[in-house]
Amino acid sequence: MPRPRLPRPLLSAALIASLLLTPLSAKPELERLEPAHWWAGMQQSELQLLLYGENLHDCTVSLTDYPGVHIDRVERVANPRYLFVYLQIAPEAAPGSLELHLTAPDVTYSVFSYELKPRVPGSADREGFNASDVIYLITPDRFANGDPSNDEIADLREGLNRAEAYGRHGGDLAGITQHLDYLADLGVTQLWLNPVRENDMPRWSYHGYAMTDFYRIDPRYGNHDDYLHLVAAARERGLGVIMDMVPNHCGLQHWFVQDPPDAEWINFAGRFEPTNHARTTNQDPHAAQIDRQRFNDGWFVADMPDLNQRHPLMADYLIQNAIWWIEEAGLSGVRVDTYPYPDKHFMARWASAILTEYPQLNLVGEEWTLSPALVAYWQRGKVNADAYTSPMPSMMDFPLNDALRLALTAPEETWNAGFIRLYEAVAHDFLYPAPQDLVIFPDNHDMDRFYTQVGEDLALFKLGLVFNLTMRGIPQLYYGTEILMHNRDHPGDHGVIRTDFPGGWAGDPVNAFTGDGLTTDQRDAQAFTRRLLHWRRTATAIHDGALRHFVPDDGTYCYFRYTDESTVMVVLNKRPEPAVLPTARFAEILPPGSHGTDVLTGTTQDLSESVVVPARSAVVLEIH
């Protein structure tokens, strides 16, 4: 197998300088060292160093005396180009530079330094995203092109092709950074970016989910410093950044797939065998073992090799990589792609290791199923029949997402159609240990745009938006939802679902950042979204409040969010005429003689007898 082409940068200047002084005969050629550095004062005392290059297999590794640090063991694998060196780092070890030696009998071939950095004060105590936040999901290639100079990178396989729906369009980190003020003004508080690490695949690389280097930012998005700058600039504006991580698979062109440590590094010994997508095998007491294995070990597609998380060296590598990015970039959370597909016992270990380092961080997993029982299986605190214990704080609420679509688009309200579907989806919260920690959303990068789902009906769009921003859970919006982006002519087409945000490219005839060229409906939707989001920032009843809902009645659905200090009443009305609801029905939660001020219009209603909701609209009433 040919040696893989290795992207830049590979080694520190100090390491390169040390290798230049090495004798020429049979010298080790250290081409990669991962992770590039670590930190003193981490909870995890064991650190795996992956060394990759030539003439490494027969080397011994030693460490110049460094208080609190010693080499625990060196793991050798079938491929002589790898060494895995495990250090033990005591809590009292100080930041500084370690000096490691690669040695053959009686000859020191290489000396290199390895830095233990000081941690940022308070790093371990950082708070993750929660129900007070609103997450804004961005596909970076399609948001804004802030630096055209990185549109074409000579040593990467795919170049710019904005005319192709599945091609690279040139969006980048600089584009996002330049429009942080727009996002802050819109009212969102967290940014979830589809993967930004290198995806050097020959086609369809824009989505990022077939990574070819877990430690390198894709140069078409910018460089490592650009990513750190984005996170820091976002933090200055009160915005957190959530990284999209994929422990299940990588891209076929990943350097350690092209030249793996051994035959067990990739599932099915590196041979394509498709997954059966039978996610129920994780819970099914009757499932055949071969079906479980095919689900967990099978590949998504031939271009995405499935990583073997049961390989102890791979497991350590993936856990360290996640922790490294959180510490390095100052992340506020992690979104985990295809959460049920990897080995579930590894995923419990992966999440536990992260939360040991950052007890208040949040992690959200993707389990795309319409069964709340399957989603609940993975959430922290769930008592499962098979005794499996998951440490995941949050999961994506796909069952609620589907129920919202069905509720809004049902042609009529019946005992089992319309708002009752939404009510019953919420009623299944008894299955979840912490339903308030689920991430709820009208759409995302893998499904039709929400405006398309509701038939481009602005009234239904607004009803759905109100629901998502007032219901229990952590709301997530997809970029462009606020301006009614759609895929009406291309249902299910991911390239079009992830179309370019207008105004992100020079010469765009419409600029949604400034409002120039937007239609009346788009301006209305953008202003409506902004108004809701700004109110929500301080709406503690929505952040922390309990939920009480009432069985839908003839096209209306009423629920309350409340704490001891505040109460919010929400009524959704699908009727083609105004709804007048007697408030006596809500007496258990609505005090006598109440008034409510609508956060959407600023008008106040006397709720002594009834609440009035305009046709095909919602009221969000702060009760006083």
Task: Please give the positions annotated as active site.
Answer: 337, 366
Other C-beta atoms closer than 10 Å to the C-beta of 122 total 8
> Could you check whether the bond before residue 274 is cis, i.e. omega within 30 degrees of 0?
no
Residue 22 burial by Cβ neighbours in a 10 Å radius (0-12, 13-18, 19+): middle
Nearest-angstrom CA–CA distance, 34 and 370 = 39
- Displacement of CA 200 from its chain's centroid (Å): 20
According to DSSP, the β-strands at 595-598 and 617-623 are: antiparallel
- DSSP output for 377-428: HTBTT---TT-----B-EEB-HHHHHHHHHHHH-SS-BTTBTHHHHHHHHHG
Nearest-angstrom CA–CA distance, 613 and 324 = 51
By the 8 A CB rule, do 504 and 476 touch?
Answer: no
Which residues, 6 or more positions from 450, have their beta carbon under 8 angstroms from its beta carbon?
442, 443, 461, 464, 478, 481
Q: What is the 3-state secondary structure (H, E, C) of 510-538?
A: CECCCCECCCHHHHHHHHHHHHHHHHHCC
Measured distance between the N- and C-terminal CA atoms of the chain, rounded to whole angstroms: 72
User: Which of 374, 357, 358, 355 has the alpha carbon at shortest distance from 366?
Assistant: 374
Half-sphere exposure for 286 (CA within 13 Å, toward CB)? 0
Q: Which residues pair with 360 in a beta bridge?
A: none
User: Which of 21, 24, 31, 12 has the alpha carbon at shortest distance from 83?
Assistant: 31
- Displacement of CA 326 from its chain's centroid (Å): 12
Token pair, residue 244, equals: 């999209």
Nearest-angstrom CA–CA distance, 296 and 322 = 20
